[in-house]
Every structure is written in structure tokens, then in C-alpha cells.
Amino acid sequence: MSASELETYLVSRPPDTSGAAGLPKQLADLKTALRKLETAVIPEGVSRIESLNEQFDQFAARVSLIVQVKSGKTALANGLLGLNGLLPSDVNPWTSGATSMHVNIAHPKGKKAIFQFFSQDDWNTLVEDGGRIADLARKAKFDTKLSELTQQIKDMKRRTETRLGRDFEVLLGNQHSFSEYDTDLIKRYVCLGEEDMLAETEGRFADLTKSADLYLTSDDFGYPVTIAATPGVNDPFLIREAAPLDNLGTSHICVVVLSAHQALSTVDIGLMRIISSLKSEQIVVFVNRIDELSDPDPQIREIDAYIQGMLAQQNLPTGIPVIYGSALWAEAAIAGDLGVLTEDSVEALQNVGTARTAR
């Protein structure tokens, strides 16, 4: 495959939107049916139809990204949004707070970015028994790391109080909101790394941030969507998973994001059990960073066999879709420039492109 063919393979191929392309029309048809139904029901049923209409108007598809630490979650979220660099994707620092990107959803007047801090009750609950994540872990029979979880909470509280001083008490239970935002602003609230790796402003409020809500508009989405990117999770659990896990039960799709170099650890199995127990409508496994494989096409088949075997062995729901891709290649496609890729990444893309084109 030549360089020009490779450029075409990555950048010029139209995305496969066959599954979603018809959804806006289906939603419009459903709305029309509700209006007709409102005129046909008996008076006692009108309030019920009105309630359904209200729910319909407020509907937004909710997708939650559940990830391993450093598996490329933020780059993946940027790729899904079609916006390079919106969320910080540096190796250090990494995102810590639960960040929700609300696409084509009405935002509070004058507010496009809202950062909510933990309350005193949140802290007390976390310190006392590990909070919601500990409860879910026990139910999923994955509670072997709870002592480490408790220590993480204590370390996080100590670190936060030291950094913020008297501001710590003032911020508890409050929020900061902004009419506009950029990557530097986001870093102040949802980036966490080693203390000596952070700049003065980066990550200043990260330990205390419970959630971040960002509002944006995009013509690429035919209906409202919320993409919720949760903090990274590896062994042991990171404490900030407590807040987003509370919301997983309301997600329409939970995407478990793995790294091609660490596909399906015991922690991932535990998380998938937790998600299944919350009766989320669908789980999807996305194996990211295949650009770092030397010869992705055959290696993907090997990884897939391992994942499918683990799912069967652990009695997890059958038929879970497993998708393979590269957020880095997505960034190159969005930029329309292969120059952002390393030579090894270009070679890996060339290998997989050649193999799949031949098939």
C-alpha cells in the first residue's frame, strides 16, 4: 500500500453510520405517533401521554466510557466528538474526575462548563466505608482490594487539604462554572498526576472535583448525546470511580475501554460484573491502541480469542461486541494529516490496511 493509498485509507473513507443514520427519522416518526396518540386516548390517559412527550423531548443517548488507566480514554473521547485536543490526553497528568460531554443538549443559561466538588457528606461516606464503589465491589464479589481503596481515600484527602489549604473547606459542596472553556481550564479541574509533575495551575482542583459537565454543539450528531468519560481504573480501583458508577445504571451503552497491551485484566472482569448487575442496556468492549501492535491484523485475532475465552470462562453475558481500533489513528484522520503519527504507527496502519484491503 503506497503512502497516497494509506492516506486515503485513513482519512478519506467515509465513516460507517448505517446503524445511526436512520435514527433521527425514527425518532421523528415516534414523536408524530405520540402526538396522534394524544388525540386518541381517553381523558384519563392524556397526562400519561404528556409525560411521555416530556421524556421524549428530554431524551439524550448516554454513552459511558469505562477505562483502564492510560488506555487512551481521553483521546478516544476526543475522536468520538471529532475534536482533537479538547480533553487533555497527556500521559501525565491523566484525567481524574468524571467528565460528561453533552452534545446538542440545552445547557444552563450562560454556563458551558460546570465543575462540581465533593461535599462534606461525600467525603465522610468515602472515608467511613469506601462509598458506593466498595458496596458495588462487595456485591460483585470483588472486594479483595478494599483496604487499599481505604488508604487511597485517606491519601487523597491529605493531599487535597495540603494543596488547597483553607480553600478546601470553602470549596466542599460548591461548584465553579464558566461561560466558555478550553483545554487549559479543563486541566485545572480533571487532571491528576504525580505531585512533582504538575504545574501550578494543572490539577489544582482535581482531587476535589466530583464531576465535570461540558456543553458543546456539533452538526455531526443527529440527536442529543452525552459521552461520559470516567476516571481510569486499574488494580487497585481508583476512588473516583465511586461517583460515575452511580450513574452507570442510567447509561444506554457502557464502553469498557482496554489497551491492546493489557486486554481484560481481573479488574476489568470485576467492572463488567458490576455493570451487568446494574442492568445497563448494552456493554461494548473497545480495545484501543492497536497502533502500537507491530502487525495488528493477526495480533487482533489472537487478542480476540483470548478475550472471548475469558468472557466465557467468567460467565459474563455472551454476545458482547468487541471492537478494535486506535484513537491515535482517529486523531490523524480528524487532522487529515499522517504527519502526527510515528513511523512505527504508520507502518502498523499500513500493515492492517494492506491485510484488510486484500480481504
Q: How confident is the model at residue 122 (pLDDT cuts 50, 70, 90)?
A: confident
| Domain identity same for 3 and 128 | no
Q: Which of 34, 59, 84 is the last residue of a domain?
A: 59
Where helices occur in the chain by DSSP H, the ranges are 3-7, 18-21, 23-40, 43-57, 73-81, 120-129, 131-139, 146-164, 167-171, 183-190, 242-245, 266-277, 296-313, 327-335, 343-358
Rounded mean pLDDT of 139-155?
62
Q: How many C-beta atoms lie closer than 10 Å to residue 310's C-beta?
A: 17
Give the model's pLDDT for residue 111: 93
| Domain identity same for 117 and 254 | yes
Residue 111 backbone phi and psi in degrees, to 5: -125, 120
Side chain identity, residue 226 = T
| Domain identity same for 276 and 329 | yes
Give the model's pLDDT for residue 144: 56
Overall number of domains in the chain = 2
Fill in the DSSP letter of residue 342. -
Supply 27's cell numbers: 425518532
| Domain identity same for 11 and 47 | yes
| Domain identity same for 109 and 178 | yes
By residue range, what is the domain housing residue 29? 1-59
Q: What does the pLDDT look like over 245-282, one tens digit per residue?
A: 555 667 888 888 888 887 777 767 777 777 777 655 68
Q: What does the pLDDT look like over 319-356, one tens digit per residue?
A: 788 999 998 898 888 888 888 888 888 889 888 888 88
| Domain identity same for 110 and 28 | no
Task: Output b/e per residue, 319-344; b: 16+ Cβ within 10 A.
Answer: ebebebbbbbbbbbbbeeebeebeee
| Domain identity same for 44 and 120 | no
88: left (phi over 0), alpha (psi -120 to 50) or beta: beta
Rounded mean pLDDT of 216-234?
79
Give the model's pLDDT for residue 290: 92
Give the model's pLDDT for residue 326: 92
Of 238 and 220, more confident: 220
| Pick from 218, 220, 184, 219: nearest CA to 202 | 184
| Pick from 273, 277, 213: nearest CA to 243 | 213
Q: Which of 59, 80, 97 is the last residue of a domain?
A: 59
| Domain identity same for 168 and 282 | yes
| Domain identity same for 125 and 252 | yes
Least confident of 8-12, 86-90, 191-195, 241-245: 241-245
